């Protein structure tokens, strides 16, 4: 979540650990997000550091079928039910009315 975003200081600490180990590459994974300052920081490093946030992690899990299973997928239009008639009050589920303007 944005409120719990990983900031530049945490990424700097991670990079410091990479340097200490003599590593030239690293992947920092979080289920949260990274701050804009963290993203900007890694752009200017000599080490190759990838920041992988929660949304990207979930996308990769779905893409590769790791730890997830899709049982049923339903696709809805961009504005679901925008043109569907409204159900009348007190009627059965098969009774429908068209919405009208209030007078």
CA 49 – CA 12 distance, rounded (Å):
11
- Rounded Cα distance between 10 and 27, Å, is 13
pLDDT at residue 8, rounded to an integer: 98
Q: What is the pLDDT of residue 98?
A: 45
Domain boundaries, the chain: 2-69
pLDDT digit of tens for each residue in the chain (103 aa)? 678 999 999 999 999 999 999 999 999 999 999 999 999 999 999 999 999 999 999 999 988 989 877 778 778 777 656 666 655 555 444 444 444 444 4
Q: Give me the pLDDT at residue 75, please.
A: 80
Q: HSE-up of 73 (CA within 13 Å, CB side)?
A: 4
């Amino acid at each position: 979540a944005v409120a719990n975003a990983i900031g530049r200081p945490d990424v700097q600490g991670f990079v410091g650990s990479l340097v200490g180990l003599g590593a030239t590459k690293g992947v920092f994974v979080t289920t949260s997000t990274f701050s804009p300052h963290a993203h900007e920081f890694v752009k200017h490093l000599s080490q190759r550091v990838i920041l992988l946030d929660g949304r990207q992690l979930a996308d990769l899990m779905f893409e590769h079928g790791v730890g997830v299973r899709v049982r049923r997928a339903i696709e809805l239009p961009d504005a679901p039910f925008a043109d569907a008639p409204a159900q009348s009050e007190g009627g059965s589920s098969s009774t429908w009315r068209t919405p009208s303007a209030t007078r």
